Amino acid sequence: MVALHAAGWLLLVLAALGSLYTLAAAFVMRRFFAARDRLPARRSDAVTILKPLHGAEPLLGDNLVTFVEQNHDGPIQMLCGVHGAADAALAAAQSLRVVQPDRRIETVIDSRTHGANGKIANLINLEHRIAHSIVVLSDSDIVAGPDYLARLLAALGAPGVGAVTCLYRGRGDAGFWSRVGAAQLSYQFLPGAVFGVATGMATPCMGSTIALRRETLDRIGGFGRFADVLADDYAIGEAVRALGLTVAVPPMLVVHASVERSFGELWKHELRWNATIRGIGALPYAASVIAMPLPLALIGALLSPGIGAAAICAAALAARLILRRAVDEQAGAVTAPAWLLPVRDLLTFAVFLAGFFVRSVDWRGDRLRMRDRGTIEAEAELSG
């Protein structure tokens, strides 16, 4: 009993510290995005946008078109890649040429595989079709605003910058469970990433957007270098930094559509995401528990109940609600209702714990076995 009581108070102390962190994150959110009101001038750079696609997603066509409906004076080439003619994403990609006939939109069907990472294999198949000197790669479930390219190119033009990546919030396009997933992105991932960038504690490079010069892409070895890497986005950023260049994170947001249709899909997606982060660094992954004050407080209160425990639980909930409001203010939209936040936080904690034990992950139907140094191998290859 004494050990349980002590463990409870340890969790409560962590929860109190986590509540202070949460309030600090809300403050940093507002400061970080304060510079977003300064809109860069329109640009005329020639840009190639790479969109690796796989399978049907809600509103896929609407999301893709936002990348060519830009306040941009230069030529835009969009390359949409699929691995087969039967891929359900192909129709959405082909429809773009109807609604945007003045843009150079190309669909590339190429079944070749290159390693275990399906997205990177898709990008390798697109690489030789790149026509312009600036390359922007972005996941299929991302939505851009009309000033997207202007802000990216302004950041890429700064001295010493080798790549630009984008923070994102969740939206939830596929019903209840997708809204639960979106809440994790908006209220857990986003403030943590902003806090890390603002304090210099994090150096992210995210699949929402990676913009870089074609010359830089060639210098890091092209996409083929990352064919068997799980955290490919992070690895691209590390390769750029190894050249002595920086990866900029400007004060702008894109939207992650969040398309999980069921609890099972959501669990697999978030488990893969957590395993990816753990693979980058187990110690920082473990330390991220400080950003989960409400689950820590609730478990601590169960082990060591009392007025003090109840007060810490209330403080943790209040801090999370304050952070939620700060995020919604900066995003200009409400991702999920307040009542969902405690449920979401408990699920986040459960996935976090499971992330320590997973050794294989699911990526769009493929099982990938995690190897040393962040590499992966298809389980079909292992059994064969």
Return the pLDDT at 383. Answer: 39
Q: Which residue has the higher pLDDT, 122 or 279?
A: 122
Separation CA 313–CA 273 (nearest Å): 28
Q: Mean pLDDT, to the nearest integer, of 281-305? A: 94
Return the pLDDT at 382. Answer: 41
Q: Mean pLDDT, to the nearest integer, of 133-141? A: 96
Q: Which residue has the higher pLDDT, 124 or 44?
A: 124
Return the pLDDT at 44. Answer: 86
Return the pLDDT at 84. Answer: 87
DSSP 102: T
Kindly state the percentage of the chain with pLDDT values over 70: 93
Return the pLDDT at 101. Answer: 80
DSSP 335: -
Q: Pairing state of beta strands 161-165 and 246-248? A: parallel
DSSP 259: -
Return the pLDDT at 341. Answer: 97
Separation CA 74–CA 96 (nearest Å): 18
- Give the lowest-confidence range in 4-18, 152-166, 283-297: 4-18
Question: Residue 85: pLDDT above 50?
Answer: yes
Separation CA 246–CA 338 (nearest Å): 37
What strand order describes the sheet that includes 360-363?
Answer: 360-363, 366-370, 376-378
Return the pLDDT at 381. Answer: 45
Question: Residue 376: pLDDT above 70?
Answer: no
H/E stretch holding 336 reads none
Q: Count of CB atoms within 10 A of residue 19's CB?
A: 26
Counting every residue written for the chain, the total comes to 384
The three-state secondary structure class of 86 is coil
Spatial CB neighbours of 307, under 8 Å, sequence gap ≥ 6: none
Estimate to the nearest angstrom the gap between the alpha carbon of 2 and the chain centroid: 42
Question: Residue 361: pLDDT above 70?
Answer: no
All domains in the chain, ordered by first residue: 2-32+285-366 (no CATH), 39-269 (3.90.550.10)
Q: Give the distance between the most distant pair of CA atoms in the chain.
A: 72
Question: How sure is the predictor about 102, in pLDDT bands with cuts at 50, 70 and 90?
Answer: confident
Kindly state the percentage of the chain with pLDDT values over 90: 71
- Give the lowest-confidence range in 50-59, 68-77, 288-297, 358-367: 358-367
The pLDDT tens digits of the residues spanning 105-134 come to 999 998 888 888 889 999 999 999 999 999
Is-contact 185 266, C-beta < 8 A?
no
Return the pLDDT at 384. Answer: 39
Is-contact 106 78, C-beta < 8 A?
yes
Question: How sure is the predictor about 264, in pLDDT bands with cuts at 50, 70 and 90?
Answer: very high
Q: What angle do CA 95, 99, 101 make, to 5 degrees?
A: 100
Separation CA 18–CA 23 (nearest Å): 9
Is-contact 214 135, C-beta < 8 A?
yes
Structure tokens at 164: 């630009």
Return the pLDDT at 278. Answer: 86
Ramachandran sector of residue 232 (left: φ over 0; alpha: ψ -120 to 50; beta: rest): alpha
Q: Dihedrals φ, ψ of 249, to 5°? A: -125, 90
The pLDDT tens digits of the residues spanning 299-342 come to 999 998 999 999 999 999 999 999 999 999 999 999 999 999 99
3-state helix, strand, coil in the chain (%, to 5): 55, 15, 30
Question: Residue 103: pLDDT above 60?
Answer: yes
